[in-house]
Amino acid sequence: MGAYKGLPVRRDVAEALIDQGLTVLRYGGPMINHPEYRWKKMIGPREQRPPHRNTWYPYSSNGWGIPDFLAFCEAAGFLAIPAFNMDETPGEMADFAEYANGPADSTWGARRAADGHPEPFGLRHIELGNEERVDDSYFAKFAPLAEAIWARDPQTIVGVGDFVYGQPIADPLKVEGAASGIRSLAAHQRILQLAQAHGREVWFEVHVGTDGPRPDATFGALFSYLDALTKLADGAKFKVVVFEFNAGNHTQKRALANALALNALERDGRVPVAVSANALQPYGQNDNGWDQGLLFLNQSQVWLHPPGWVTRMVSTNYQPRHVPVDVSDDAGLGVCAARSADGKVLVVRVVNVGDRPVPAALRLEGFAPSKPVAHVEELTAPLDARNTADDPTTVQPHVTDWQHEFAHGEVRRVFLAHGFTVVRFE
């Protein structure tokens, strides 16, 4: 088993995360909302880091903290996005910006070097808060924190840790269904104005539900939230991102919901980062209700659950150029498509949440496969199916080479019930 690149990380766990095709990790959640969660408690020798009571458990050792997270993401090649408690002071956040990105001869860069990392991390993203009530009180904390970060490192993009919106937003100043209880996006407008005044980009981060087999109403509201911020932006640079697809299970039905969400986000094209909670979960030890790990581990093994396989299928078949898709005849399929930069590869992703197979015709305009065989990956199972330590491969993709018989711009295929299918034409 061993350690990964000399870090305090199990090699098998690290390699499984990498093999899953992850490109970004966010280190956040309710743990950061506890008043004792502070980044300066996470540096130095582990045995000397002060423990604290935390949100989920009465004891947290700080044996794994934000600097450890940054070192792992750097080694694994992941984009790192750490979240911070809103009660950190502006001075403490300025110190962190220097700790993360300052030269080794700066005060906090020297502390980073003493902790074993002489070179700057090159961190580009910091999130402030988690599932916050974004109102005037939040803005009063956010503004000095963001300004302190920007003053120390102007290249850092600061993110707003927003919450969940359960109803579509027609008027940004009249909001219903926000989990935080806010009734207006007026504070969001002030944040946009602040970022614009400093010539900076700001990200707004929300969470959505993918308990399955379809995403819930919070996912539909996401796009209206983005539209609402666009109305308020007045030229300010911003992005909306999703750092938590949330569910209470890790079964096939959650896999289908995640796949539908990813397809819809890719078709929309405005959300640059979307990640699923939770990346990693100890087997048999979940006691907080969020039983939703993509990758499970015990003392001797790691294995993917159906939602984790969806992530891998999407990532390993990624292509950079979106292709418009039209689904007719109310087939009940969730579809997206993308091409390679050179136009030689076309990937089509199809979700069938129904309990019956769906025959469909794929009509391809402006693309004709040059190879008679397409690569196909299919993930199908009963909605409640999951993997276990005793049988970690109950649900996994079935991989085939398909003799597709493409002719006259069309090819036909049956998409399996409760299934996610990826077809790669070349």
Give the confidence band of 1 by pLDDT, cuts at 50, 70, 90.
confident
Please state, in angstroms and rounded to a whole number, the distance separating the CA atoms of residues 420 and 406: 21
Q: Is a pLDDT exceeding 80 seen at residue 330?
A: no
Please state, in angstroms and rounded to a whole number, the distance separating the CA atoms of residues 139 and 144: 9
Residue 69 and residue 25 in contact, taking contact as beta carbons nearer than 8 Å: yes
- Computed from CA positions of residues 209, 210, 216, 219, in that sequence, does the dihedral angle turn out positive or negative? positive
Per-domain boundaries in the chain: 11-319, 322-425
Residue 230 and residue 266 in contact, taking contact as beta carbons nearer than 8 Å: no
pLDDT digits (tens, 9 = 90+) for 301-319: 999 999 999 999 999 999 9
CATH number of 322-425: 2.60.40.1180
pLDDT (mean) for 203-230: 98
> What is the spatial order of strands in the sheet that 201-209 belongs to?
24-27, 79-84, 125-128, 157-161, 201-209, 237-246, 274-276
Strands 410-415 and 358-363 turn out to be antiparallel
Residue 325 and residue 351 in contact, taking contact as beta carbons nearer than 8 Å: no
Please state, in angstroms and rounded to a whole number, the distance separating the CA atoms of residues 84 and 99: 14
In terms of Cα–Cα distance, which of 72, 70, 83 is closest to 37?
Answer: 83
For 48, residues 6+ apart whose C-beta sits below 8 A from its C-beta are: none
pLDDT (mean) for 394-422: 96
- The tokens for 262 are 């990813």
Please state, in angstroms and rounded to a whole number, the distance separating the CA atoms of residues 105 and 375: 52
pLDDT at 134: 99
For 408, residues 6+ apart whose C-beta sits below 8 A from its C-beta are: none
Residue type, 20: Q
pLDDT digits (tens, 9 = 90+) for 69-94: 999 999 999 999 999 999 999 999 99
The CATH number of 11-319, from 2.60.220.10, 3.20.20.80, 3.30.160.100, 3.50.50.60, is 3.20.20.80
Question: 186-197 vs 136-152: helix axis angle to the nearest 10?
Answer: 20
pLDDT digits (tens, 9 = 90+) for 244-255: 999 999 999 999
Q: Is a pLDDT exceeding 90 seen at residue 285?
A: no
- The mean of the pLDDT values for the chain is 97
For 244, residues 6+ apart whose C-beta sits below 8 A from its C-beta are: 29, 207, 208, 275, 276, 277
In terms of Cα–Cα distance, which of 68, 78, 67 is closest to 26?
Answer: 78
For 120, residues 6+ apart whose C-beta sits below 8 A from its C-beta are: 100, 101, 102, 103, 109, 112
pLDDT at 3: 97
Whether the link from the prior residue into 213 is cis, omega within 30° of 0, is yes
- The tokens for 118 are 């002489």
pLDDT at 287: 80
Residue 128: strand pairing partners: 84, 160
